[in-house]
A and B are shown apart, each in its own frame.
Chain A
Amino acid sequence: MELCDRNAMDLAGMLRRGEVSSREITESVFKRIDEREASINAFITTTREIALKQADLADEKFSKGGDLPLLTGIPVAVKDVLCTKGIKTTCGSKILENFVPTYNATAFQKLQDAGAVIVGKANMDEFAMGSSTENSIAGPTRNPNDITKVAGGSSGGSAAAVSSGESILALGTDTGGSIRQPCAFCGVTGIKPTYGRVSRYGLIAYASSLDQIGAIGKTVSDCAMMLDVISGHDPLDTTSSQVEKPDFLKALSKGIDGVRIGIPQEFFAEGLDPKIKEKVLDAVTLLEKNGAQVISINLPHSPFAIGAYYLIATAEASSNLARFDGVKYGYRKSEDDGDCLAMYHKTRTTGFGTEVKRRIMLGTYVLSAGYYDAYYLKAQKARAMIKKDFDEAFREVDCIMTPVSPCLPFALGEKMTDPLQMYLVDIYTVSLNLAGLPGMSLPCGTIDGLPVGLQIIGKPFDEGMVLRAGAAYEQLVEKQI
C-alpha cells in the first residue's frame, strides 16, 4: 500500500513513531498526482513547492519532539472556494481566474496553524453551483472509481483527491449537499457540520445562510480529526456559534448500542434507485442487529425542500455575487469607448458561466418587488416547517439515516442539458442545509463498482452522535470483512 492510500490517522501514528516523514507522505501524494491528475482533474492549482516546504517544517517539528497536533505533516486539499493568502483562488470561475487573496479563510488558517501541508486548490463547480463538478473553468473532475463518470459536486475535486490518493484529507463546502454527494459518488467520507460550527470567514459565499465548511477523509475518524481543528467560534463571523466544541475524536468509540435511528419514509419513496435503497437499508439493518433501535419516522414537508432551497439559495447568490463587477479584482472586460455600465455588462456576461448566470437571474427574480412575498418569504416559511419536522423527529430518535443521492454517479455530460434533473440529485441533502443540521456521508457498499453513500443526520451541534454512529458502522463493516 502506498503512503498516499493510507488514512490520516494511520499516517499520524506513523509520523509519531518515526516510521515515516511528512516529506515522504507528501512526495507520495504528488507522485499520485503525477500519475492520475491528467485523467481525474481534481485540482485547479497544485502547490507542490509550498507543500514540500511545509512538510519539511513538519518533519523538523517531529525531530524536536513534543506534543504536536494530529494534523501536523498531513497533506490536505483545499476547495478553491476558500481564500488562501498568496495562492490563486478562482472559485472555478473565469471571473476570478487570476484572483490572489490577501488573507486566509479562518478554516484554512486553522489547518495551517495545526501544521497541515497544503497540496493544492481543489476543483469545484463554479461558485459551488452544481452537483457534478462539470461547471468549472478548469474542466470537469472525473470519478476516480470510473473516469467516465462524474465525481459529484460541487466539492468534486476535494472528494476525488481523497479517493484517488491525490490528497489525504480535504476541505469542502456544502450548501445543498456539496460535500456529501461527491463523497458518496467517490466512495469517501465527508461531514457537513451544523450551520455555525465552522467559521465562514474567507469562504467565498454562494448562499450565506446555507453554506458550511466541512471535512473530507477516507474514514470517520479522519473527518473527526479535521473537524476538531476547524470548528469553533470566530469573531470574524458573527454567524459562527458560541456553542462549545466537544472533542470529536472522543465521541467515536461509544458504539451503537441503544442508539435510536430514525428512517424517514419520504426519503425512501419514488425516485430512489432501488439498488441504492437496498444498500442503505442493509447498513441500517447491520446497525440494528448490533443493538441500535430503528424507528420509522416522517418528515412530511420534505417535498418542499428542493423548491425552497433553490429559491433561497439563488436569492442570496444573486446578491453575494454582485461584488464580482470588474471594478476591484478579478476579471474585467471593457472596451475603450464603453462606459461603466457597459463594463459591468461585459464583465459579468463573459465572466460567469451558464449555471451561475441562470441562478443569478433566478435569484434576482425571486427578490424582485412584487415577487418577494410569493417566492422568498414563502420559501422561508417552508424552511421553517422543514426545520420543525426535524425538531419533532429528534424527540424520538438520536440520528436519522437516509441515502445521500437518489442515483449512482452518472456519466459526464449526462445531466448537463437538463438543469432540473441535476437539481433533483440534491433531493436528500438540501433539507439539512435548510434546517442547519449536521450530516455525514459514508460509503455503504458499491453497485457495479460504483460507490453508494449512507447519510447520517444529527441534531444541531450533535456532530458527536453522527460521528459515533458512522464510526460504529465502519467498525462493523470492517469486522464483516
Chain B
Amino acid sequence: MEYDAIICFETHVELKTETKLFCGCRVAYDIPPNTEICPVCTGQPGALPVLNKKAVAYAIRAGVALDCTINQRSRFARKNYFYPDLPKGYQISQYELPFCENGHLEITGDDGKPYPVGIKRIHLEEDAGKLVHSSDSFDDADYSLVDYNRSSVPLLEIVGDHERNPLRSIQEARVYLEKLRQILRYIGISDCKMEKGQLRCDVNLSIRPKGATTFNNRTEVKNMSSFRFMMEALEYEMNRQAEILESGGRIEQETLLFDEMKRVTLPMRSKEDAPDYRYFPDPDLLEVNLDDTFIADIKSALPELPHQRVKKIMDAYDIPREDALILTKDKDISDYFTACVLHCQDPKRLSHWIIKEVFRLLKEASAAIKECPIDPENCAELVNLVSQGKVTASIGREILDDMFKTGEHPNAIIDKKGLKPIQDEDQLETLLDGVMNENPKVVSQIKEGNLKPIDFLVGQVMRKSKGKANPKSVIKLIHRKLNP
C-alpha cells in the first residue's frame, strides 16, 4: 500500500548573539569548560535573569522572515524538570504568548508547485549546559561532568503546524529544512551548523493510506545530529509505521530516539510517561511589550531573502533561474556576486565566471567564499577585460589563478607577467606567416574555400602567442591574407 506522510518539525536554532539570553556571559564555542559562566547561568541561589534585547530582535526577525504574526505582548514561562545540565531545575522558555505565531515557509512541493508549509509558533528559550560522561552513556557512567558554557545560550524554537500545511514527504522535509537553514543564515541570526549543535531537530511523523483523510497517531523522533541521519530516521520510521499498519496494528503515540550506530529508532517514552512540565509564567521576568517602532525597524532592516534575490538576479541581469539559484544558495556567495556585479558591465559572464572559475579555485583550496582572496571589484574588472576582448578567456583564467594566490589587481598581474594582448598587427602577421609556412596543406585547403581548418590555424597562432593573440583579429587576418 502507498502512504502519505504527515511531517512536522520542531527546530531549535542557537542564535549568534554576543552574549547569553539572560546574562552577560559570552556565547562562545570551543573554549575550556565553565569559562563563560556566572551566578545567573549556573543557577546560583538569588541570581536573576535579565533579558537580552538583541535575542528578542533576532526572534522577531525570524518571525518577519517566516511571515508570522508578531505578538506585541509576550512573556516567558518556566518549564520545570530535573536534569544535571539544567542548573535552575527549570528552563526559561515560552508557553502562552510566544513572540511569533501562524507563519509559513514556502517551498517547492514534490508536485513542482509552490507549497506554503505552516509554522505554528516561534519562541525564545535558553539552552541547557552540556554533560560529559565518563563512558558513552549516562547510565553506565561512573561519573559525569557538567559544562555550563552553553547554559542560557539563546535558542529559537520554530514549531511546525500539524493542521496547517504539514510536510507531505521525506523529500519535502529535506527541502523545508534546507530552505529554513538558508533563510536563517540569510537573516544573520544563526550559523545553523548542525555538527556544532546550532541547528537541532525533533520531528513528528504519522502516515496514512494515500488519499485518506483521517489521522493515525504520530511519533516524535529526537536526537538526529545531521541531515543524513534525519533522512534515515524518517525513512526508517515511515517503514516501521507502515509495517505496523499493514499487520493490523496500531501506532503508539510515543517519543523515540534515533540510534546513530544501529540506524534505528528506539522508544524513549510513551505518552503515559510524558513529563508534566508544570509551565507557569516566570515571575522573575516582566511581560515583554514590543512597541510598533521596534517591530517596524526590524521589518525595514530585514535583509533580502533568498527568493527575493533569485528574482532580482533573474530580472535585473537576465541570468537563468538555475544559475540564479546557485548564486543565492548561500548568502555569502550571493553577497559576493552582489558586490561584484556593481562594478561589472557583463553580469551574465560574471555569473558564469563565479560559478565555474571562482568555485573551482575555492574547491581546490577547500576554502569558503568568505575567505576568497579575490576582491569583488577586481573580479568584476577581470570579467570586464574579457568582455572587452582585452584578454582572452584562457589568459583570463591564468590571471584569475594568480589573483587567487596573490589578491592582486588583474592589471598588475598582466603587467607583471607580460600578458598584454598582441595589439600590433605586424607582430601578429609575423606569427601567422610562420604558422602558414609550417602548414602549407591547410593553407591550400582554405584557399580552395574549405573554411573548417581556419580554427586550426587560429589555435596554432594562439599557442605560439601563448594566448596573447586576439582570436578575432587572427581570423580577420587569415581572411584578408587568404581571401577564401
B302 to chain A, nearest CB (A): 28
Q: Which residue of the partner chain, among A99, A236, A324, contacts B48 with CB atoms under 8 Å?
A: A236
Q: Is residue B80 contacting chain A, with contact meaning CB distance below 8 A?
A: yes
From known contacts A103-B39, A235-B50, A239-B286, infer whether A323 and B280 are also in contact, taking CB-CB under 8 Å: no
Residues of A within 8 A of B48 (CB): 200-201, 236-239
Interface pick from B86-94, B153-161, B360-368: B86-94
A322 touches B88 (CB 8 A): yes
A200 CA to B285 CA, complexed, in Å: 12
Residues of B within 8 A of A101 (CB): 44-46
Q: Is residue A339 contacting chain B, with contact meaning CB distance below 8 A?
A: yes
Q: Which residues of chain A (384-428) have a CB below 8 Å from chain B? A: none
New A-B contacts (14) at CB < 8 Å, excluding given A201-B48, A205-B45, A238-B49? A101-B44, A202-B46, A202-B47, A204-B46, A205-B46, A207-B283, A209-B283, A238-B284, A239-B285, A322-B80, A322-B89, A329-B45, A344-B82, A372-B278
From known contacts A339-B139, A367-B278, A369-B276, infer whether A323 and B283 are also in contact, taking CB-CB under 8 Å: no
Residues of A within 8 A of B138 (CB): 340
Q: Which 5 A-B pairs have the closest CB atoms?
A: A322-B89, A209-B283, A367-B278, A208-B283, A204-B45
Q: Which residues of chain A (304-325) have a CB below 8 Å from chain B? A: 315-316, 318-319, 321-325
Q: Is residue B43 contacting chain A, with contact meaning CB distance below 8 A?
A: yes
Residues of B within 8 A of A99 (CB): 45
B269 to chain A, nearest CB (A): 14
A83 touches B286 (CB 8 A): no
B280 touches A367 (CB 8 A): yes
A239 CA to B283 CA, complexed, in Å: 8
Q: Which residues of chain A (341-356) have a CB below 8 Å from chain B? A: 344
Residues of B within 8 A of A296 (CB): none
A319 CA to B278 CA, complexed, in Å: 9
B280 touches A376 (CB 8 A): yes
Residues of A within 8 A of B90 (CB): 319, 322
B278 touches A364 (CB 8 A): yes
* Residue in chain A with minimal CB distance to B274: A369
A194 to chain B, nearest CB (A): 15
Q: Mark B270-298, 1 if CB is under 8 A from A, else 0.
A: 00000010111001111000000000000
* Residue in chain A with minimal CB distance to B42: A328
B276 touches A368 (CB 8 A): yes
Interface set of A (CB-CB < 8 Å, partner B): 82-83, 89, 91, 96, 99, 101-103, 105, 200-205, 207-209, 235-239, 315-316, 318-319, 321-325, 327-329, 339-340, 344, 364, 367-369, 372, 376
A303 CA to B88 CA, complexed, in Å: 34
* Residue in chain B with minimal CB distance to A240: B48
From known contacts A322-B80, A322-B90, A328-B87, infer whether A89 and B45 are also in contact, taking CB-CB under 8 Å: yes
**A interface majority secondary structure:** loop
Interface pairs (7), CB distance under 8 Å: A101-B44, A105-B46, A236-B50, A237-B48, A323-B45, A328-B87, A368-B278
Q: Which residues of chain B (23-76) have a CB below 8 Å from chain A? A: 39, 42-51
Residues of A within 8 A of B42 (CB): 328
**B interface majority secondary structure:** loop
Residues of A within 8 A of B47 (CB): 103, 201-202
A340 touches B84 (CB 8 A): yes
A230 to chain B, nearest CB (A): 15
A101 CA to B45 CA, complexed, in Å: 8
B45 touches A91 (CB 8 A): yes
B51 touches A238 (CB 8 A): yes
Q: Which residues of chain B (235-280) have a CB below 8 Å from chain A? A: 276, 278-280
Q: Which residue of the partner chain, among A96, A209, A318, A364, contacts B45 with CB atoms under 8 Å?
A: A96
A325 touches B82 (CB 8 A): yes
From known contacts A103-B39, A202-B46, infer whether A323 and B284 are also in contact, taking CB-CB under 8 Å: no
From known contacts A327-B146, A367-B278, A367-B280, infer whether A102 and B285 are also in contact, taking CB-CB under 8 Å: no
A323 to chain B, nearest CB (A): 5
Residues of A within 8 A of B43 (CB): 323, 328
* Residue in chain B with minimal CB distance to A99: B45
Residues of B within 8 A of A105 (CB): 46
A103 CA to B279 CA, complexed, in Å: 29
A208 touches B44 (CB 8 A): no
A83 CA to B48 CA, complexed, in Å: 13
Residues of B within 8 A of A316 (CB): 280, 283
From known contacts A367-B278, A368-B278, infer whether A325 and B44 are also in contact, taking CB-CB under 8 Å: no
A83 CA to B276 CA, complexed, in Å: 32
A377 to chain B, nearest CB (A): 9
Q: Which residues of chain B (84-135) have a CB below 8 Å from chain A? A: 84, 87-90
A238 touches B286 (CB 8 A): yes
A209 CA to B75 CA, complexed, in Å: 15
Q: Which residue of the partner chain, among A89, A319, A340, contacts B280 with CB atoms under 8 Å?
A: A319
Q: Is residue B78 contacting chain A, with contact meaning CB distance below 8 A?
A: yes
From known contacts A82-B46, A204-B46, A364-B278, infer whether A102 and B88 are also in contact, taking CB-CB under 8 Å: no
A367 touches B44 (CB 8 A): no
A367 touches B80 (CB 8 A): yes
A205 CA to B78 CA, complexed, in Å: 15
A89 CA to B283 CA, complexed, in Å: 23
Q: Which residue of the partner chain, among A102, A239, A322, A369, contacts B39 with CB atoms under 8 Å?
A: A102
B46 touches A323 (CB 8 A): no
B284 touches A325 (CB 8 A): no
* Residue in chain A with minimal CB distance to B49: A238
B186 to chain A, nearest CB (A): 32
A103 CA to B39 CA, complexed, in Å: 8
A102 CA to B44 CA, complexed, in Å: 9
B78 to chain A, nearest CB (A): 5
Residues of B within 8 A of A344 (CB): 82
A236 CA to B51 CA, complexed, in Å: 10
- For B49, B50, B90, B283, the residue with the greatest tally of chain A CB atoms inside 10 Å of its CB is B283
Residues of B within 8 A of A237 (CB): 48, 50
A89 CA to B39 CA, complexed, in Å: 15
Q: Which residue of the partner chain, among B44, B45, B51, B89, contacts A319 with CB atoms under 8 Å?
A: B89
A212 to chain B, nearest CB (A): 12
Q: Which residue of the partner chain, among B45, B84, B278, B285, contacts A83 with CB atoms under 8 Å?
A: B45
* Residue in chain B with minimal CB distance to A203: B46
A313 to chain B, nearest CB (A): 11
Residues of B within 8 A of A89 (CB): 45
B315 to chain A, nearest CB (A): 48
